[in-house]
């Protein structure tokens, strides 16, 4: 995979979006003004409004782009085999870190947009599971929701997790240590198949007791 194009080579619309992604990540949605974003992008506030209409619409565009970009990188890494290419991680690493810095702000600001983005991430995760891992779970929606919440939870616990790992998880050092631990968790189940079956059987019994006609 080639490196991202240079900022100055982007279209005006793309420069505005990239500038907004950086400033929203640094200052939060409320802390970055239209004037600040336009200045960072090297355009006028009027041109920003021409392309996006408002800061809220720009935030929506950034949300959609960030999510689509991250999903595309994951698809390239896992489904297209790019993870085996030694240069792939180096090429996408700056982009991934920038996206996670953005998500750390955008997903935790308590806004309706943050809620909508969470729901969209769950829906995309469910589609991913159904498409690539159809036998992974009997409830792919719930499974996706838990995975997304775990990932967002790590961003929400940024200060504590960074302290525990000895490095900011949004820095290269901290992100790599976090990623290695995540790979270990995903690739090495903590439950045996027998233990998982026993747990599901217990859940089935508990559910039966809660349904009409079930045991008290």
- What value does the mean pLDDT take over residues 86-113? 91
Tell me: pLDDT of 128 over 70: yes
Over the chain, what HEC string results?
CCCCCCHHHCCHHHHHHHHHHHHHHHHCCCCCCHHHHHHHHCCCHHHHHHHHCCHHHHHHHHHHHHHHHHHHHHHHHHHCCHHHCHHHHHHHHHHHHHHHHHHHHHCCCCCHHHHHHHHHHHHHHHHHHHHHCCCCCCCHHHHHHHHHHHHHHHHHCHHHHHHHHCCCCCCHHHHHHHHHHHHHHHHCCCCCHHHHHHHHHHHHHHHHHHCCCCCC
141-159 average pLDDT score = 94
The pLDDT of residue 162 is above 80: yes
Instruction: Indicate if the pLDDT at residue 32 is higher than 50.
Output: yes
Instruction: Summarize the confidence of residues 39-59 as an average pLDDT.
Output: 95
pLDDT digits (tens, 9 = 90+) for 75-97: 999 888 888 888 998 899 999 99
- In this model, does residue 3 exceed pLDDT 60? no
């Amino acid at each position: 995979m080639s490196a991202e194009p240079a900022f100055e080579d982007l279209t005006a619309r793309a420069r505005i979006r990239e500038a907004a992604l950086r400033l929203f990540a640094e200052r939060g949605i409320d802390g970055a003004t239209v004037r600040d974003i336009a200045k960072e992008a090297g355009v006028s506030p009027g041109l920003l409004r021409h392309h996006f209409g408002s800061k809220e619409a720009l935030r929506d565009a950034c949300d959609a782009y960030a999510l689509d970009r991250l999903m595309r990188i994951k698809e390239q890494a896992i489904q297209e085999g790019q993870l085996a290419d030694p240069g792939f991680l180096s090429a996408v690493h700056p982009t991934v870190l920038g996206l996670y810095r953005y998500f750390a702000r955008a997903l935790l600001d308590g806004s309706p947009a943050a809620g909508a983005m969470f729901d969209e991430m769950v829906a995309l995760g469910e589609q991913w599971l159904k498409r690539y891992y159809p036998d992974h779970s009997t409830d792919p929606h719930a499974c996706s929701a838990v995975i997304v919440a775990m990932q967002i939870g790590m961003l929400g616990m940024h200060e504590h997790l960074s302290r525990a790992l000895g490095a900011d998880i949004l820095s290269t050092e901290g992100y790599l240590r976090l990623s290695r631990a995540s790979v270990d968790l995903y690739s090495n189940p903590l439950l045996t198949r027998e233990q998982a079956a026993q747990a599901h059987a217990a859940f089935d019994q508990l559910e039966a007791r809660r349904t009409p006609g079930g045991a008290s």
